[in-house]
Amino acid sequence: MPPKLDQGHFYGQVLKSRKVSGLILSETGYEPHARLPKHSHETAYLCLVRHGTYEEKFGRRTRSLAPMALAFHPVGEVHSQEFHDAPTRSFNIELESHWLQRVEEYTGCLRDGHDFQGGSVAGLALKLYQEFHRTDTASPLVIEGLVLELVGEMSRKARPPRQKLTPVWVVRAWDMIHSRFTEPLKVEDIAAEVGVHPIHLSSVFRQTYRCTIGEKVRQLRVEFAAEQLSGTDLPLATIAHQAGFCSLSHLSVYFKKQMGLTPSAFRRSLRPSG
């Protein structure tokens, strides 16, 4: 039977750890090409990848995790990990049982494993990481509030889009946006491509995916920029242009709104520490 790691324990090196009101926050480091055997944890936890990439197998599924990916592991989930050719740094948030009971009434997202790439979920986790390094008297209160906000946002994102009578054309519009978000798309162009009126497209898209077309395009552009910031040394202005923003200042406004940091501060936050 795979080993179950005690609360506060991880394979790899625990670089820093802190306990706050039933939460254990820790930063862990892993060497390139490390392989972790099948194991589980006695405490449910969230893991934000800050640097590096790896594959994680759980049950019959495999997920690929890269910078700004957030994975939730329920109590007892058996998983194994294989790290790629760069050092990896992760930020972990362990939730004691009373935390799970506290939020179970409002969300079911902590019963099963989930993973999220970028977006508001990762942005909140990154704010938690920054607060993890602060030591003022208000920090524990801020950490509790951010964890509650993070779990609430996870619950929204983990809930699948509405499936009842979803028109094929709105799915085509979704796919088109995902494949061409760096282009100067217009609602009229997307509507013409899928064969509906622009007003009808905008209305049904928002009802189906709980965001506007413009919000989705900006989210995808910011996530693309985050990937480039973490994986390349390209100048910020070049990344802004490649992501589809008209200028670096335009990228900075939406990047900070979504991620909580400017692009340059975000790039610094992903550098390995310790």
User: What is the per-residue pLDDT for 105?
Assistant: 64
User: What is the per-residue pLDDT for 254?
Assistant: 92
Q: Where in the chain is the domain with CATH 1.10.10.60?
A: 168-269
User: What is the per-residue pLDDT for 113?
Assistant: 79
Helix (H, G, I), strand (E, B) or coil at 66: coil
User: What is the per-residue pLDDT for 258?
Assistant: 82
User: What is the per-residue pLDDT for 97?
Assistant: 82
Between CA 110 and CA 89 the distance in angstroms is 23
Tell me whether strands 23-30 and 44-51 are parallel, antiparallel or unpaired.
unpaired
Amino acid at 48: L
User: What is the per-residue pLDDT for 130?
Assistant: 84
Give residue 210's region: left, alpha or beta (phi > 0; psi -120 to 50): left
Residues 4-158, CATH architecture:
Sandwich (2.60)
Between CA 250 and CA 122 the distance in angstroms is 21
Between CA 65 and CA 72 the distance in angstroms is 12
Q: Residues in the chain with pLDDT < 70?
A: 104-110, 158-165, 270-274
Q: Where in the chain is the domain with CATH 2.60.120.10?
A: 4-158
Identify the CATH assignment for 168-269 out of 2.40.160.40, 1.10.10.60, 3.40.50.1980, 3.20.20.140: 1.10.10.60
